[in-house]
Amino acid sequence: MVVLLPRPREARQRENTIALINIVLLMLIFFLIAGTLTPPLDKDVELISTVVAAPAEPPEALFITAEGDIRWQGRSTTVSDFLAGRRASSEEPVRIAADRSLLADKLIDILGELRAQGAERVVVVTERTTN
């Protein structure tokens, strides 16, 4: 008489998720340290559109609304207060993010005021379009 014994089932190997968790944690720490945190764009400003623009990170900019209100870091300000409280060195350009509905005359007046109060370089931040 031949007795057939069932094959022993192979023990199912447990997946080692500790290594995966460690890698994800290390990646998270790396990106937190290596990444730059920038302030969010002002929600009341719809940026000027351009077809050709160099890609760049969102700047810490002086925002100008369609009504001509000047905002910096989410608060209303004046050109003189902005230049006095600015952290960057005078060599760094002043970045302006103006609303596309802002009248050109008002933008030119604000740019002139910046130049008159000592801003050597002024850059206008725009939004790149696909047209």
β partners of residue 63: 71, 97
Identify the pLDDT of residue 39. 64
3-state secondary structure 24-65: HHHHHHHHHHHCCCCCCCCCCCCEEEECCCCCCCCCCCEEEC
Tokens 């730059």, residue located:
36
39-72 pLDDT per residue, tens:
666 677 776 666 665 655 555 778 888 888 888 8
Identify the pLDDT of residue 24. 93
Query: CA-CA distance, 98 to 76, in Å (whole number)?
Result: 14
Single-letter code of the amino acid located at 121: R
Show me where the domains of the chain are located. Answer: 48-128
- Which numeric CATH code is attached to 48-128? 3.30.420
Task: Please tell me the pTM assigned to this model.
Answer: 0.56
